[in-house]
Amino acid sequence: MVYRVSAVWLSFLLSPLALPALARGVGPRDPVPAGYHAEPYYPTPHGGWLDSWRDAYAKAEALVSQMTLAEKTNITSGVGIYMGKGQYWDFAPAETTTDWVHRPCVGNTGSADRLGFPQLCLQDSALGVSSADNVTAFPAGITTGATWDKALMYARGVAMGKEFRGKGANVHLGPSVGPLGRKPLGGRNWEGFGADPVLQGKAAALHIKGVQEQGVISTIKHYIGNEQEMFRMYNPFQPGYSANIDDRTLHELYLWPFAEAIHAGVGAVMTAYNAVNGSACSQHSHLINGILKDELGFQGLVMSDWLSHISGVDSALAGLDMNMPGDTNIPLFGFSLWQYELTRSVLNGSVPMDRLNDMATRVVAAWYKMGQDKNHPRPNFSSNTRDKNGLLYPAAVFSPIGQVNWFVNVQDDHYLVARQVAQDAITLLKNDGNLLPLSNASKTSVFGTDAQVNPSGPNACLNRACNKGTLGMGWGSGVADYPYFDDPISAIKRRVPDVKFHNTDTFPSNIGTPSSDEVAIVFISSDAGENSFTVENNHGDRDSDKLAAWHGGDKLIQKAAEKYSNVVVVVHTVGPLILESWIDHPSVKAVLFAHLPGQEAGESLTNVLFGDVSPSGHLPYSITKSATDYPDSIANLKTFTLGQVQDTYSEGLYIDYRSLHKQSIKPRFAFGHGLSYTTFTFSNPTIRAVTPLSLVPPPRAPKGPTPSYSTAIPAASEAYYPPNFPTIWRYLYSWLRPGEADAAAAVGAAGTKKYPYPAGYSTAQRAGPAAGGGEGGNPALWDVAYEVAVTVTNSGAAHAGKASVQAYLQYPTGMPYDVPVVQLRDFEKTRELGPGESQEVVLRLTRKDVSVWDVEAQHWVAPGAAAAGAGAGRGADSNPNNFEFKL
């Protein structure tokens, strides 16, 4: 047997935060601004009351009813950070094991081996299997959003789901819809699909469907209000910031994509690091028990984000079902607030058995729902090392070594969908004099380090935490390793072998006088990522470079435009930039936003540049002329203060285009904008009322039955360590020493020492709110209210192309609610239409799409129907023209 000293723990011990965990219960909190508060909501609604999950819950009930206390607490928690390759006791001799900074599956639960319930492997990221070999590095979420193509959103999900399954992951930690994209400077907006709830919601639902059809549990994250990176986490010195969000804004913007994900049957939800209204998201009873599990009828499991678990009993009562990766928020001391502590909390009577049964059942039901009881492959990769053999417990002080990588190639032909997404996302913002498409006979010079892959290799920077070479993705946990990188300059050279490439971000001084037909293609970038890494002084958020191109890219364009009369700008970016210093320069004839293309950056771009296809991407956010076109609350990041940083959503519903419309500010390029090489006409628009609308949805059905178990505190012996069990230091176990278990059970049996339960605590199950009743909310919210049809014709003569049709809802004036001027409600993309070809496109608006969240009624109200009901003769039913659909 070969052991190696593991070094990973040293880095944590040396960190200034390596102090004993400071558990923050739901007790005293930092003050939030007047008016915001976190209303308690107890108890956690039992899962299992919906038909769509009936079978999975029946199987889960049968399994969980056989579990011991220690098995139940084992499967609801991780076994510790960097732990959990426990299945593979294959002590092959080590060959070269030099790589200790990576990780195994980023999360690994405990198992109930006796009953055949395995450890679950939870793996990042939202754009591919992270830290693994032989996988596809897909385009990022923001790129996928920019395609505005539902078929591609789904196809990317299918391909990604196959890769997670092929590597043996049970849970895919994506998609991300929080952040929504409220702050243009926010660090992780690029992991989601764009700054609009409907774009995010539809993309996420299609992604989830694609992933889960492959038998992998998808995770919608981060719930909720994680709109900036800096100050998001709780640590012993400071709580995470508080996102202070009013109820209507929550429902109509930030919650919307989560509701769509739950409606699509998502199996898991991950809570955010930050607080909402002063209460941490991982223990927020109103958000988890009330909104997620009661109003939205969520039947799957709720997990914490990594190391955001800050209370044991309170988080369980608030509705958290799984603690990831198992540790307290200061890891690697072998401490958990669950596992053995959750076992103790049940024995001493503080966490009701009823709650633990529901937690375990939700985990097992999600596993059955995706069919993982049938031949789901076991994990066959390690994010800890690329070597065949490695440390089995990298966090243990002495770890055995065994085989950890089987190099399963899961890429198949997924490069095709990756390239199609990258290509169809490319957004043409300007094309003066039809400079594009270029001919491959053009005399071409290329400028900018962003045109060529990082010379040290595409994966040279851990977690992509650098911006060197072509920017294919942001940084942090939301990345994957590139199997290869098709960079733009190589693809351009395949077309124009004698292209001149200036691999620099400073305009060279020795450029001669170009001829008037010579073309300069200038590549610029803007990067962002997770707050765990700082890149060129940007702390996750774009706090240093702001909305300017990195490495002096704006200057590079200006210099090129002074010299060349035909400049094409290619932008790889996480989000909007301010383009004003060069956009109106007469030499800057064409601008392409290629977003974050992933591994297929090259050919996807040249297919557009050289006119094999017309660009068909559209902006998933607005590009303003100035950062201050938005109010301070969204234009600026929150900076350091003592105590809890307060991030108050004082702008309400008015973010991105909703804000600009309200203030009558014209953007440089509008949300949804994108040009083509051809032109399209829209004709024969029709609107058909489908389902007649009442003011509010019809009453919901009562909840169906849920599993029933004994609620008695189990025997202490169910928690005893097996005799002579060989423990590994810092591995987290759910057992207690017999003496400890007996002592806790004595407290529970006496019932004299009461846990200080939070205000509003109750154990009586509720009927559920009127706005609930199905997955995502009241089922009638998804009734189609209107169908909009339009004929799209390619009216150009020379190029084929795909058109994007977007339906925005505009309420008539005089509404009883303050409403944004227009709101995106549906979108479709045509197939590629040749010149003169037409296609009829149908878009649908649901009841929810035409409703407003009424805070007093706590319900979705269709104001058009209100007018009809009041006999005002302007009802949506009788006169659908009340709703003006702009196409």
Ligand X SMILES: *[C@@H]1O[C@H](CO)[C@@H](O)[C@H](O)[C@H]1NC(C)=O
Nearer to ligand X, 443 or 673 (CB): 443
User: Is 233:216 a contact under the CB 8 Å cutoff?
Assistant: no
Least distance in angstroms from the C-beta of 335 to ligand X? 11
Within residues 736-755, the interface with ligand X by CB under 6 A covers 747, 753, 755
Distance CA 562, CA 529 (A): 33
Nearest distance from C-beta of residue 403 to ligand X, angstroms:
8
841 neighbors 828 (Cβ within 8 angstroms): yes
Q: How far apart are CA 458 and CA 162, in angstroms?
A: 24
CB 674 within 8 A of CB 614: no
- Least separation in angstroms between residue 380's CB and ligand X is 3
355 binds ligand X (CB under 6 A): no
- Which range binds ligand X by CB under 6 A, 33-41, 623-631, 647-655, 832-840? 33-41
Type and span of the H or E element at 785: strand 784-794
Site string for ligand X, 361-400 (x = CB under 6 A): ----------------xx-x-----x--------------
> Binder to ligand X among 44, 125, 134, 282 (CB under 6 A)?
134
- Residue 187: CB minimum distance to ligand X, A: 23
Q: Looking at residues 56 to 75 of the shown chain, list those that interact with ligand X (rule: CB under 6 A).
A: 70-71, 74
Min. distance of Cβ 603 from ligand X in angstroms?
12
- In the chain, the N- to C-terminal Cα span, in Å, equals 68
Q: Which is nearer to ligand X, 480 or 578 (CB)?
A: 480
Write out the two tokens for 714: 């189990």
Cα(473)–Cα(830) distance, integer angstroms:
27
Which residue in the set 30, 99, 213, 247 belongs to the binding site for ligand X (CB under 6 A)? 247
Please report whether residue 440 would count as binding ligand X according to CB under 6 A.
Answer: yes
Which window, 4-12, 242-250, 797-805, 828-836, contacts ligand X (CB under 6 A)?
242-250
Residues 755-794 that bind ligand X (CB under 6 A): 755
Closest distance of CB 128 from ligand X, Å: 13
Report how far Cα 695 is from the mean position of its chain's Cα atoms. Answer: 33
Which residue, 360 or 569, is less far from ligand X as judged by CB? 360
Q: Which of 412, 432 has the CB closer to ligand X?
A: 412
Which of 99, 247 has the CB closer to ligand X? 247
Question: Considering the complex, what minimum distance in angstroms separates the CB of residue 620 from ligand X?
Answer: 26
Pick from 16, 35, 702, 723 the residue near ligand X by CB under 6 A.
35
Which of 682, 627, 615, 691 minimizes the C-alpha distance to 659?
A: 627
Nearest partner of 824 among 202, 391, 367, 40, judged by Cα: 202
110/575 with CB nearer ligand X? 110
Residues whose CB is less than 8 angstroms from the CB of residue 171 and which lie 6 or more positions away in sequence, other chains included = 107, 120, 121, 122, 123, 216, 217, 218, 219, 267, 268
* Segment 494 to 553, residues that bind ligand X, using CB under 6 A: none
Angle between helix 340-347 and helix 353-369 axes, rounded to 10 deg: 130
Sign for the CA dihedral angle at 284, 290, 291, 294 comes to positive
Q: How far is the CB of 418 from ligand X (least distance, A)?
A: 16
Check residue 212 and report its DSSP letter.
H
Establish if 110 lies at the interface with ligand X (CB under 6 A): yes
Strand, helix or coil for residue 740: helix
Residue 441 in the binding site for ligand X (CB under 6 A): yes
Strand partners of residue 461: none
Which residues lie closer than 8 Å to 871 by C-beta, 6 or more apart?
Answer: none
Binding to ligand X by residue 287, rule CB under 6 A?
yes
Q: Does 41 bind ligand X (CB under 6 A)?
A: no
The residue (of 566 and 599) whose beta carbon lies closer to ligand X is: 599
Q: Is 406 among the residues that bind ligand X (CB under 6 A)?
A: yes
CA angle (856, 318, 225) in 5-degree steps: 65
Task: Say if CB 199 and CB 562 are below 8 A apart.
Answer: no
Q: What angle do CA 436, 439, 440 make, to 5 degrees?
A: 135
Lateral strand order in the sheet of 784-794:
680-689, 784-794, 838-846
> Taking the complex as a whole, how short is the minimal distance between the CB of residue 313 and ligand X, in angstroms?
5
Under the criterion CB under 6 A, does residue 113 sit at the interface with ligand X?
yes
* Cβ closest to ligand X, residue 457 vs residue 692: 457
CB of 287 to ligand X, least distance (A): 5
- Residue choice 344, 595, 799, 829 for contact with ligand X (CB under 6 A): 344
At closest approach, how far in Å is the CB of 25 from ligand X? Answer: 9
> Residue count at the site for ligand X (CB under 6 A)?
48
Provide the minimum distance between the beta carbon of 406 and ligand X in the complex, in angstroms, as a whole number: 5
Among 48, 168, 179, 201, binds ligand X (CB under 6 A): 168
Q: Does residue 313 bind ligand X (CB under 6 A)?
A: yes
Q: Which two tokens stand for residue 451?
A: 């045109």
Q: Which is nearer to ligand X, 754 or 813 (CB)?
A: 754
H-run or E-run covering 568: strand 566-573
DSSP H helices, 312-456, are: 313-318, 340-347, 353-369, 414-425
Q: Which of 76, 470, 622, 734 binds ligand X (CB under 6 A)?
A: 734
Residues 6+ apart with CB under 8 A from 568: 435, 436, 438, 519, 520, 521, 522, 589, 590, 591, 592, 609
| 107-108 vs 121-123, strand pairing mode | antiparallel
Cβ proximity to ligand X, 167 vs 829, nearer residue: 167
Query: In terms of CB distance, is 261 or 741 closer to ligand X?
Result: 741
Interaction of residue 483 with ligand X, rule CB under 6 A? yes
Nearest Cα neighbor of 674 from 595, 762, 781 is 595
Tell me: does residue 286 bind ligand X (CB under 6 A).
yes
Where would I find the beta strands (DSSP E) of 830-883? 838-846, 852-854, 859-861
Number of residues assigned to the chain: 887
CA separation for the pair 763, 523 (Å, rounded): 60
Task: Tell me the β-bridge partners of 525.
Answer: 572
Stretch of residues binding ligand X (CB under 6 A), selected from 227-235, 326-334, 403-411, 656-664: 403-411
Q: Which sign, positive or negative, has the C-alpha torsion 267, 272, 276, 280?
A: positive
Which residue, 21 or 287, has its beta carbon nearer to ligand X?
287
* Residue 246 touches ligand X, criterion: CB under 6 A: yes
Based on the shown chain and the rule CB under 6 A, indicate whether residue 29 belongs to the binding site for ligand X: no
Strand spans (E) along 714-783: none
| Residue 659: closest CA among 596, 591, 592, 576 | 576
Q: Binding segment for ligand X among 170-178, 239-247, 652-660, 863-871 (CB under 6 A)?
A: 239-247
Strands 519-526, 444-447: pairing kind: parallel
CB of 376 to ligand X, least distance (A): 10
Please identify which residue in 6, 130, 299, 348 interacts with ligand X, judged by CB under 6 A. 348
Catalytic residues: 305
Among the residue ranges 36-44, 210-218, 627-635, 707-715, the one whose residues contact ligand X (CB under 6 A): 36-44
859 contributes a contact to ligand X by CB under 6 A: no
Residue 133, interface with ligand X (CB under 6 A)? yes
Nearer to ligand X, 498 or 873 (CB): 498
Is residue 341 at the binding interface for ligand X, with CB under 6 A as the rule? yes
Q: Please name which of 136, 95, 261, 165 lies closest in space to residue 597, comparing C-alpha atoms.
A: 136
Amino acid at 157: G
Burial code (b: 16+ CB inside 10 Å, e: under 16) for 672-687 equals bbbbbbbebeeeeeeb
For position 345 contacting ligand X by CB under 6 A, the verdict is yes
Binding site for ligand X (CB under 6 A): 35-39, 70-71, 74, 79, 86, 110-113, 119, 133-134, 166, 168, 245-247, 276-277, 286-287, 312-313, 341, 344-345, 348, 350, 377-378, 380, 386, 406-409, 440-441, 483, 734, 747, 753, 755
